[in-house]
């Protein structure tokens, strides 16, 4: 639903908002922030500032007053989209009409002086695998003749991830320690991952949930979507290869997931909905519970995605992040609505604040790959950085940043803010101690064998 909040002519009296890369007045994402060291509260990003919504809740729809006083967005997410839309309309008016400047100005905080938090209490996190080019590229490395497994075009494939280790942009990722096995050996080695990778993804926030035993019909799925963030699904490929059969990823994924702290609402994204790419000739037609004509007509997102990387050497030389990849959310083989319909078809209940990852969104071209695993062909063909350094996988001190920009003709583009994190060294003291205590005769755990 396009309304006056999307009007490209609309301007804010917050000067930095006009032409802002991510947060012009047409965006108004929701998040949880702390000004200086004060307690967390709900805010919206506007230009270089954050507006404290708790402090101005008396100016906002009265029905939302309690939800707006929360320390997480869960209660607000639970409301029907119409309620969030009225909040958006009100905020858009307050931030564009100069008559409200005097009353709002005291509640605007410079974003650089604020800390941002995971925006919701995430009860459950599920990661899908709807990036078909990623699934094909990874499949080719394992099975050159039949890269996609027979279920791929019938089922939006996913696995249950870990909510407790989801962190916002800026929090360091500690290199995980665990088991890996070299191809020619029977025994696994133990130690820090030597094949640490990232995955370029979008995160879909669940709004109102569904009751246990009551599936969400695909036509109703949009009512359950609250918004999107950027997501980096850090992955230890060496652990993954050893552990994933028969039940799927476990410790290779659950040590850390980075998200951008702002929820860009579905209402803000309305102008950027676009038709789902047609399935290639010969692909099966999905089962009826996964098909909705309206979803096919505008269930995709016109969002450009990019990945940047910076090594410690690049940082020392003052170099900007090097673009590794330019991809697009239109590469999703299954839509967000199809993900929700499938997740709940067996009666599984989703709750407000749950997070669904899309899976790695690689483009079809080699310049748009969403993981190092694909770029380096499982480590065999290292990439080269502007400093001449090479990488097969991430080293300590490397920084990965994901960016996203929604664009459509006739509308002001909107962004997501940063989704960035630096890799820090494994806690070696800890893993050495674990290794010694558990396996006194096993040299596999010593640093020299890495």
In the residue annotation, 134 being an active-site residue is answered as yes
Q: How far is the CB of 343 from Mn ion (least distance, A)?
A: 15
Binding mask of the shown chain, residues 197 to 216, with x at each position contacting Mn ion by CB under 5 A: --x-----------------
Query: Cα separations (Å) of 281 from 47, 136, 284, 285, 366?
Result: 45, 17, 9, 10, 23
Q: Tell which one of 127, 267, 398, 422 touches Mn ion (CB under 5 A).
A: 127
Closer residue to Mn ion, CB minimum distance, 135 or 350: 135
Binding mask of the shown chain, residues 425 to 444, with x at each position contacting Mn ion by CB under 5 A: --------------------
Closer residue to Mn ion, CB minimum distance, 357 or 445: 357
Question: 375-382 long-range CB contacts below 8 Å, 24 or more apart?
Answer: 375/324, 375/325, 377/141, 378/141, 378/237, 379/195, 379/237
Closer residue to Mn ion, CB minimum distance, 127 or 267: 127
Q: How far is the CB of 32 from Mn ion (least distance, A)?
A: 24
The separation between CA 293 and the C-alpha centre of its own chain, rounded to angstroms, equals 27
DSSP code of residue 113: G
Q: Which residue is nearest to Mn ion (CB)?
A: 233
Cβ pair 232, 402 in contact under 8 A: yes
Q: Which residues pair with 49 in a beta bridge?
A: 46, 110
233 binds Mn ion (CB under 5 A): yes
Closer residue to Mn ion, CB minimum distance, 127 or 398: 127
Stretch of 126-134, 219-227, 336-344, 425-433 lying at the interface with Mn ion (CB under 5 A):
126-134
Q: How far is the CB of 360 from Mn ion (least distance, A)?
A: 6
Q: What is the footprint of Mn ion within residues 27-66 (CB under 5 A)?
A: none
Q: How far is the CB of 237 from Mn ion (least distance, A)?
A: 12
Q: How far apart are CA 62 and CA 109, in angstroms?
A: 23
Q: How far apart are CA 426 and CA 196, in angstroms?
A: 11
Q: How far is the CB of 402 from Mn ion (least distance, A)?
A: 13
Q: How far is the CB of 179 from Mn ion (least distance, A)?
A: 20
Closer residue to Mn ion, CB minimum distance, 224 or 237: 237
Binding mask of the shown chain, residues 165 to 204, with x at each position contacting Mn ion by CB under 5 A: ----------------------------------x-----
Q: Which of 20, 49, 109, 134 is catalytic?
A: 134
Stretch of 105-113, 228-236, 370-378, 427-435 lying at the interface with Mn ion (CB under 5 A):
228-236
Closer residue to Mn ion, CB minimum distance, 128 or 416: 128
DSSP code of residue 261: S
Q: How far apart are CA 236 and CA 371, in angstroms?
A: 12
What region, left, alpha or beta, does residue 329 occupy, with left being phi > 0 and alpha being psi -120 to 50 degrees? alpha
Q: What is the footprint of Mn ion within residues 311-340 (CB under 5 A)?
A: none
Closer residue to Mn ion, CB minimum distance, 109 or 134: 134
Q: How many amino acids of this chain bind Mn ion (CB under 5 A)?
A: 3
**CA torsion angle for 324, 330, 333, 334 (degrees, to 10)?**
120
What region, left, alpha or beta, does residue 206 occupy, with left being phi > 0 and alpha being psi -120 to 50 degrees? beta
Cβ pair 191, 431 in contact under 8 A: yes
Q: Is 362 exposed, middle or buried (0-12, 13-18, 19+ CB in 10 A)?
A: buried
Q: How far is the CB of 214 from Mn ion (least distance, A)?
A: 28
Residues that bind Mn ion (CB under 5 A): 127, 199, 233
Known catalytic residues are 134
């Amino acid at each position: 639903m396009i309304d006056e909040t999307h009007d490209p002519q609309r301007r804010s009296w917050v000067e930095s908002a006009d032409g802002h890369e991510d947060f012009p007045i047409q965006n108004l994402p929701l998040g949880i922030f702390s000004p200086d060291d004060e307690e967390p509260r709900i805010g919206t990003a506007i230009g270089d500032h954050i507006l404290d919504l708790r402090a101005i809740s008396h100016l906002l729809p009265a029905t939302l007053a309690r939800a707006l006083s929360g320390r997480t967005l869960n209660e607000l997410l639970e409301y029907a989209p119409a309620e969030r839309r009225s909040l958006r309309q009100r905020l858009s008016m307050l931030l564009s009409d100069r008559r409200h400047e005097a009353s709002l100005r005291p509640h605007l905080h410079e974003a650089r002086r604020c800390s941002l938090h995971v925006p919701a209490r995430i009860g459950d996190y599920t990661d899908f695998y709807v990036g078909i080019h990623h699934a094909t590229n990874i499949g080719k490395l394992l099975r050159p003749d039949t890269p996609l497994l027979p279920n791929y075009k019938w089922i939006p494939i996913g696995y249950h991830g870990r909510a407790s280790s989801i962190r916002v942009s800026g929090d360091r990722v500690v290199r995980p320690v665990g088991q890996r096995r070299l191809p020619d050996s029977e025994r696994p080695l133990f130690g820090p991952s030597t094949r640490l990778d990232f995955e370029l993804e979008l995160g879909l926030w669940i709004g109102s949930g569904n009751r246990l035993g009551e599936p969400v019909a695909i036509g109703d799925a949009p009512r359950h979507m609250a918004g999107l963030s950027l997501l980096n699904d850090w992955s230890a490929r060496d652990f993954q290869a050893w552990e994933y059969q028969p039940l799927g990823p476990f410790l290779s994924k659950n040590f850390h997931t980075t998200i951008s702290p702002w929820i860009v609402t579905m209402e803000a994204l309305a102008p950027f909905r676009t038709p789902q790419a047609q399935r290639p000739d010969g692909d099966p037609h999905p089962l009826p519970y996964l098909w909705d004509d309206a979803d096919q007509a505008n269930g995709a997102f016109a969002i450009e995605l990019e990945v940047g990387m910076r090594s410690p050497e690049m940082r020392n030389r003052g170099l900007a992040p090097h673009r590794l990849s330019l991809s697009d959310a239109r590469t999703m083989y299954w839509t967000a609505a199809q993900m929700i319909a499938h997740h709940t078809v067996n009666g599984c209940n989703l709750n407000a604040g749950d997070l669904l990852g899309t899976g790695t969104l690689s483009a079809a071209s080699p310049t748009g790959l969403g993981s190092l695993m694909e770029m380096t062909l499982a480590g065999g063909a290292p990439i080269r950085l502007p400093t001449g350094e090479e990488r097969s996988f991430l080293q300590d001190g490397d920084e990965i940043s994901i960016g996203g920009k929604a664009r459509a003709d006739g509308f002001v583009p909107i962004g997501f803010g940063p989704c960035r994190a630096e890799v820090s060294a494994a806690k070696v003291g800890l893993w050495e101690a674990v290794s010694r205590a558990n396996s006194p005769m096993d040299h596999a755990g010593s640093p020299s064998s890495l």
